[in-house]
Each structure stands twice: as C-alpha cells, then as structure tokens.
Amino acid sequence: MMMAAYWFAGLFNYSFWTSWWFGVVMLTFALAFLRREAMRPKVSARKRRKTMIVCTEDWSFVSHRIGLGRAALVRGDDVVVACNTGTAAQKLRKEGFRVVSIPIARGGLSPIKSLNTIRALACLIRRENPDVVVNVAIQCVVLSSFAGLMVGAKRTVNMVTGLGFLFVSDGAKAKIVRHIVSLLLRLYAFCPSIRMIVQNADDHALMKALGFTEKRLMLIRGSGVDISTFRPTDKAMREDSESRTAVFVARMLWSKGLGELIEAARMLKSRDRNYRILLVGDTDPANPDSANEKDLLEWQSQGLIEWMGKRSDVAELLSDADLAVLPSWREGLPKSLLEAAASGLAMVATDVPGCREIVRHGENGLLVPLRDGTQLANAIEELMEDDTRRRAYGQAARMLVERELCDSVIIAKTLAFVTGDDISGTGLSTSVMATT
C-alpha cells in the first residue's frame, strides 16, 4: 500500500519521478518484500532444468520466440510460458509448454496495473523456482526483472527487442515513464543475476552506458527466421507498374512509419505510379500508438493502400511481392524485414536502429531519413522502376540471412547465453554479428 501511495503521489509531479527519492522508495520496497519472501519455503531440488519465458501475449511468443522454446523442450527443459493467454495457449500446451496466464497490462506502465503484474510474477517465480527467467520485450524486462529481484530469482535474462513507443514519443507521460525505465535498467545493471540481450548496436551501446558489462551483455541480431519457409521464388518480369507490389508487414502503429507510408503512397499516386501497397497486420487498440480501422478503410477506399489485416500466409504474400517497406521510427531488429530478406526481397527502410542492422544501403536495399515521406516515395519508385537492381538487392538480402541471421544460428547462440553454457569453439562468440 505504501508503494501504491508513492506512485499516486508522484503521478503528476515530474520532479518526484526524476529525484533520487524514487530510487530509494523502489529499493526499499524490493528489499522489504524480498525479506518476507525469503522466509517462505521454495520448491525442493530437482534434476530437470526449468526455463520460464515471460512475454506479453501468447501469440507474440508463437510469432517471435517459439523456436527458442522448442529448442529448450528438445533439450529436456520444463518450459513455462507466462503471458496473457488467448487462442494460441491451447496450441502451446499441446506442444508440451506449460502456459500460465499472467495479467500483463499493455499500452503503458500504469502504476496499479504494474504493481499487480509484479505481484503476480513474483508469486509465480517463487512458486516455480525456475533455473532461468527469460523476459521478452521492454515491458516484461522492467516488471519481471523487478519481481525476480524481490524473490531471489536464480538467473534472469532480458531480451530487449526494441525500446518501443516510450523511447520515440515526445509526450510528457512517455518522458516520465522513460526516465523510470532508465532508472530501473541502471539498477538491473548492478545485479549479478541479471543478463541482457539486445538486437542492435545502438541498444548495445545504450546498455553499456547504463552499466551492463560485456560479460552480462550480448548482441544477438533478431530472433532468427526459418529459411525453408521464407525463401525466394521466381517471378516473371512485371511490365505493368500497377502489378508491382510493395508490402508493409507490421502492426498498424504510427511509430512503424504508417503515416509516412501513406504520405508516400499519395505522392506516388500523384506521379501516376500506381503500385500495389499492401498493409499486412492488425490494429492494436491497447496501444496508444495504434491507428484506427476507420482511417485504414478510408485510405483503402482512396486507392492508396490495400489493408490485408492480420494474415497467417505472410510467406506467400512475400513470395509474390516485389519490395518490402518498413519506415519505422525505431526497432530492435524487425522480424518483418528478416522474413522479407529471407524471401529474396529488396528492402526500403528508415536509417534508424534495428532497420540498418539488416538493410545495407546500396547492397540489399535503400535507407531513407526518418519521418520523410518524400524520400520514402522516391526510394520506392527508384527500386520499383529498376528490375535489375531490385533483384540483385534481393539476392544479397537472402545471402545475408543464410550467412548470419537464420534461426538455427540465432537460437543456438541465444540458448547458450540464456543457460550460461560455454559457447567458445562454436563460432558463436559475443563478437559474432556485432558489426553492422
């Protein structure tokens, strides 16, 4: 109750959040809770290794981390997936995962909802007593790491898959929460049981600046991609520009560059470049950054885009496309570009963290300035009108994925770091894929 009171007292007071008092309150709360929890008995010793993976949604685990989970199952681990549960949970249980429903509120770090999530996670970690807790995405990193400190989690590995809306928004609330998150990350940097995985060089530099040492910090680019599912196909030369297709695969968020893409589509239409621009992905009502269905349907009625919604046949859509586009404001390493590259597509993306990890300007695609619809339109037109260069870029993209970013390489490296196994001699040293 005391902690909740502090949250409410400072909710509209920026100086409270930025003062040293906040750190003192958080640490006091953690230590008091830890003392109480330490007196409770834990699960008895066991031989089978237990891995707990914490993520926001069951569908997100299926989309991004099921390969890691399956690898742990094959190794013989008892794998617990803690998340909000939906239709994917039953499928995961059939595969052998133990799925536990945890109330992880999305769309920001609400004080009351965050405390409820921390409490639920602390109870779960204490009860399950896992050998390692793997937290996926920034919200779970912040909340579950704190819960783990409360109950003395043996080992925590955080996967920062991008810093999200909070780190690109200029809003007052976002700035406050961003400061809180930074304070907590500094705290975690000095906890020997906590390790960090990041997906791009910019986030690697940020975590080092916050205090994480090289021993507890690993750069692993992305979650990998199945190169047998996503693969190039032969396409006939498209003489008619209207049959050429650019595809944007992402949630319908403004921070994914949706507004800039619509601006570019208007410009291309005014130039009589009537390419098909497919938007593949759903809105996210729980996210304050989400576009709404009304706008998407209006743009579609104007002939600017074709909104496909969430699809399960992304590999087929990519195989029939000519170009992948992602004008995002910031990423970890975008899965949509990984899949596009594996499919042998040239790419157009913004020159921001995450996107430039996979798009090499002039080699496998083009990078454009952030929030610049004009340059985005120019880059799309440039590649759409040059079949030879577009295909050469697509071949280079596929080669990059085969060499460095396929799921077998990424999962092996991730699993080794998660469990603390020695990866020397495997070709998976901490410097692998650290250059861009």
pLDDT 10s digits, 79-117 = 999 999 999 999 999 999 999 999 987 665 678 888 999
Domain boundaries, the chain: 48-219, 241-405
pLDDT at 48: 85
d(CA 139, CA 102): 13
pLDDT at 299: 98
Write the CB contacts of 239 (distance below 8 Å, at least 6 apart in sequence). none
pLDDT at 222: 87
pLDDT at 420: 79
Q: Same CATH fold, 241-405 and 48-219? A: yes
Residues 161, 139: contact at Cβ < 8 Å? no
Q: Residue 66 CB: number of other CB atoms within 10 A?
A: 19
d(CA 100, CA 121): 10
**241-405: which CATH number, 3.40.50.720, 3.40.50.620, 3.40.50.2000, 3.30.200.20?**
3.40.50.2000
**48-219: which CATH number, 3.40.50.2000, 3.40.1080.10, 1.10.580.10, 3.40.50.620?**
3.40.50.2000
What residues in the chain have per-residue pLDDT under 70?
Answer: 1-46, 106-109, 164-171, 174, 235-242, 421-436
pLDDT at 32: 55
Beta strands per DSSP E along 288-356? 306-309, 323-326, 346-350
pLDDT at 365: 98
Q: What is the largest CA-CA distance in the chain?
A: 73
d(CA 321, CA 278): 9
pLDDT at 436: 29
Residue 5, Cβ density class (10 Å: 0-12 exposed, 13-18 middle, ≥19 buried): exposed
Angle at 237 between CA 234 and CA 241, to 5 degrees: 130
d(CA 133, CA 127): 13
